[in-house]
Amino acid sequence: MGKDVIIACDFESRERTLDFLAQFSACDGCKPFVKIGMELFYAAGPDIVRELKDRGHRVFLDLKLHDIPNTVKKTMRVLSGLGADLCNLHAAGTRAMMEAALEGLTRPDGTRPLLIAVTQLTSTDQAALEQDLWIRAPMEEVILHYAENARAAGLDGVVCSPLEAGKVHGRCGTEFLTVTPGVRFAGGELGDQKRVTTPARARELGSDYIVVGRPITAAPDPVAAYQACVEEFAG
- The whole-angstrom separation of Cα 91 and Cα 119 is 6
At a CB cut-off of 8 Å and minimum separation 6, what does 162 contact? 178, 180, 182, 183, 197, 201, 202, 205, 207, 210
**Residue 201 near residue 162 (C-beta atoms within 8 A):** yes
Query: Which amino acid appears at position 86 of this protein?
Result: L
Q: Select 106 or 124, whichever has its Cβ closest to ligand C5P.
A: 124
| Residue 191 found at the interface with ligand C5P (CB under 6 A) | yes
Burial of 19 (0-12, 13-18, 19+ CB in 10 A): exposed
Helix axes 139-152, 95-105, angle to 10 degrees: 40
Interface characters, 106-145, with ligand C5P (x: CB under 6 A): ---------------xx-----------------------
**Residue 122 near residue 195 (C-beta atoms within 8 A):** yes
Using CB atoms, what's the residue nearest to ligand C5P? 213
| Residue 37 found at the interface with ligand C5P (CB under 6 A) | yes
Q: Of 99-107, 140-148, 150-158, 205-213, which segment contacts ligand C5P by CB under 6 A? A: 205-213
- The whole-angstrom separation of Cα 181 and Cα 227 is 17
Q: Of 14-22, 139-147, 164-172, 209-217, which segment contacts ligand C5P by CB under 6 A? A: 209-217
Interface characters, 44-83, with ligand C5P (x: CB under 6 A): ----------------------------------------
Out of 32, 93, 104, 181, which residue is the one contacting ligand C5P (CB under 6 A)?
181
Q: Of 23-31, 65-73, 76-84, 208-216, which segment contacts ligand C5P by CB under 6 A? A: 208-216
Tell me the catalytic residues.
64
| Residue 159 found at the interface with ligand C5P (CB under 6 A) | yes
State the Cα torsion 34-35-39-44 to the nearest 10°: 50
Which residues here bind ligand C5P, judged by CB under 6 A?
8, 10, 37, 121-122, 159, 181-182, 191, 193, 211-215
